[in-house]
Amino acid sequence: MNFTKALFVVVALAGNSAAFTNPGNAKVLSNLSKPSELAAFGRKAKVAKVIEPEIDESVTMFDPIAEPVGDVAVLALRLATCALLVHHGFDKIQNVDGFSANVVAKFFGFLPGPPSFWTLSAAATQIAGAGLLTVGILARPVAFSMMCTMLVAVIFHLLNTGAEGFPLAVVPQHSYNYELAAMYVGVLAYFAAAGAGAYSVDEAVLGGELKLYESGIKKVFGGDEE
């Protein structure tokens, strides 16, 4: 009887060892690790998802420097433009009669009202506008109104002296009579479109010029506030 029990134990141990050493069984275990086999037992295979970070190709290594430098350049352009333009307004105030007679009445006689009204209006726009644009308050409409006065100056010079062979002619005075006024138009058109820039009351104090206008329009017309 003892011999029979011993033989049974030996056979059982041999079978168990074969289960661990049989390459076929190892293959079965390997196959069971596949997602399709695991699904057969009611488990879903977990597949690792690799998320690659998005790279903004428009950003360059120069952006941290270029942006503040650009803001300073816009500020310098704004200050220089206003400093050079304001004297045109003072000049009109000191010579209202001469400007009214030789410019407004002579070339723009179709305008209603006395010529002096238009002279003083242009002077006020250039003086007050230069002050407001210098600090950057309501920059877009202010710059647009100043641009209109200089556009009228361009028209005046074109009516008075013509195009003077623009763009290749060499004139005796070394510059076209309308040249300075035309450059003012270009610079003021930029501020009328883009605003005063980062270093301005509009942006730094009022929270953004366009947002200010949007808020005002919503208050007037009863729009929904965000």
51-80 pLDDT, tens per residue? 776 776 788 888 889 999 999 999 999 999
Helix (H, G, I), strand (E, B) or coil at 96: helix
- Least confident stretch, 48-62, 141-155, 210-224: 48-62
With a cut of 80, say whether residue 176 has pLDDT above it: yes
**Average pLDDT for 184-190:** 98
Of the candidates 145, 121, 122, 119, which has an alpha carbon nearest to the alpha carbon of residue 132? 145
With a cut of 70, say whether residue 216 has pLDDT above it: yes
91-116 pLDDT, tens per residue? 999 999 999 999 999 999 999 999 99
d(CA 92, CA 102): 12
Structure tokens at 81: 């433009």
Going by the DSSP 8-state scheme, the letter that residue 54 receives in this structure is P
d(CA 175, CA 87): 20
With a cut of 70, say whether residue 7 has pLDDT above it: no
pTM for the full model?
0.72
pLDDT: which is higher, 18 or 94: 94
Q: Containing H/E element for 125?
A: helix 115-135
